[in-house]
């Protein structure tokens, strides 16, 4: 894969997050200047505590309390070539807000729009936006999602991300700034949380899992593969003003995923079969229907456009990616 990027000044929002830390380290290793936008509680010592190889120490830390309609970005955008906008109000399992869509829009739509407008005025050349495959839908359709499928966001988070995509495109249409929109599925890797972490814990505990006969297919993307894509889109000419669905390219069933995780732990998986109607009954009984759907439902991505336009291939295979993720998890358990 040809590298197009000369050294650039890059503003990364959400820099202290799961994707942000890995991206900032990679950008610095590639020789770019990084202005890392973090919340005020992320001190230099906290920032460096995530930095075992001292890869992050060269980043310029800048602080923003909230990303909203009134956020002033002008000074932070001086001499910036590219923005990678990762910061977002993320999907919350137990949303307590009376009007969750309004809360998601405040950050994900209005905050993104405000940053994009000021970036265009400041002469930023490219704005890379990390969206979500949830804009396309929740899966279980008859085909793998593509960029041409009509969006079907089904919750406030996904709606706000879809609206932010449209707002960014409008700003870029009215200016010389280019956009790149990336829609990833589940992102896993060192430091992953949520359902993926729960699954690793269950496998480590040798918990019997009744998922042997589940033949679903789910796309995922390894953190370092996603970072590789972002690096590729910094100034690739064929990435300009494009939307890409991104994934590792190898889809797994839940049973395959559990088996690979177990193998990486040096274990055999404790999978057994249970009729699907029994699984559904138990999920309803314990009010875990949505959890079961995420485990057993299918959600596939066709990332041929990314591969064709950018000549991108995943540098790390899914099996090796899972080994690295599990190794990192086990190392954390020892501490």
Active-site positions read: 157
Integer CA distances (angstroms), 261 to 62, 189, 198, 256, 270, in order: 38, 12, 12, 9, 11
Give the contacts of 158 (CB within 8 A, at least 6 positions apart). Answer: 91, 132, 134, 135
Residue 310 and residue 233 in contact, taking contact as beta carbons nearer than 8 Å: yes
> Could you give the CA distance from residue 310 to residue 179 in angstroms, rounded to a whole number?
15
Alpha helices (H) in 79-187, listed in sequence order: 100-104, 112-122, 156-173
3-state secondary structure 238-267: HHCCEEEECCCCCCECHHHHHHHHHHHCCC
Alpha helices (H) in the chain, listed in sequence order: 18-29, 44-49, 100-104, 112-122, 156-173, 194-204, 223-233, 254-264, 276-285, 289-296, 304-310, 318-334
Residue 37 and residue 13 in contact, taking contact as beta carbons nearer than 8 Å: yes
The two structure tokens encoding residue 187: 């992102």
Buried b (16+ CB within 10 A) or exposed e, 27-51: bbebebbbbbbbeeebeeeebeebe
């Amino acid at each position: 894969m040809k590298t197009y990027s000369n050294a650039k000044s890059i503003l990364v929002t959400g820099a202290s997050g799961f994707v942000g830390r890995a991206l900032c380290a990679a950008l610095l290793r590639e020789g770019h200047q990084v202005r890392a936008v973090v919340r005020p509680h992320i001190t230099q010592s906290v920032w460096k505590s995530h930095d075992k190889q001292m890869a992050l120490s060269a980043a310029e830390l800048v602080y923003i309390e909230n990303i909203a309609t009134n956020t002033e970005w002008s000074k932070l955008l001086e001499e910036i070539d590219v923005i990678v906008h990762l910061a977002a109000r993320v999907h919350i399992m137990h949303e307590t807000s009376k009007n969750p869509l309004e809360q998601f829009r405040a950050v994900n739509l209005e905050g993104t729009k405000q940053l994009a407008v000021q970036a265009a005025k400041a002469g930023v050349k490219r704005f890379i936006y990390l969206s979500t495959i949830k804009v396309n839908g929740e899966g279980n359709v008859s085909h793998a999602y593509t960029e041409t499928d009509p969006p079907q966001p089904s919750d406030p988070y996904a709606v706000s991300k879809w609206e932010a995509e449209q707002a960014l495109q409008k700003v870029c249409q009215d200016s010389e700034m280019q956009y790149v929109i990336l829609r990833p599925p589940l992102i896993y890797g060192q430091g992953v949380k949520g359902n993926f972490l729960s699954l690793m814990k269950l496998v480590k505990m040798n918990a019997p899992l009744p998922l042997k006969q589940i033949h679903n297919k789910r796309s995922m993307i390894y953190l370092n593969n996603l970072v590789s894509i972002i690096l590729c889109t910094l100034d690739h000419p064929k990435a300009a003003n494009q939307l890409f669905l991104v994934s590792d390219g190898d889809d797994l069933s839940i049973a395959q995923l559990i088996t690979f995780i177990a193998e990486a732990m040096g274990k055999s998986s404790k999978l057994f079969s249970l009729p699907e109607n029994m699984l559904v009954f138990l999920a309803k009984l314990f009010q875990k229907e949505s959890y079961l759907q995420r485990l057993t439902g299918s959600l596939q991505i066709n990332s041929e456009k990314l591969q064709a336009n950018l000549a991108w291939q995943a540098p790390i295979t899914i099996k090796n990616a899972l080994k690295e993720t599990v190794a990192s998890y086990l190392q954390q358990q020892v501490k």
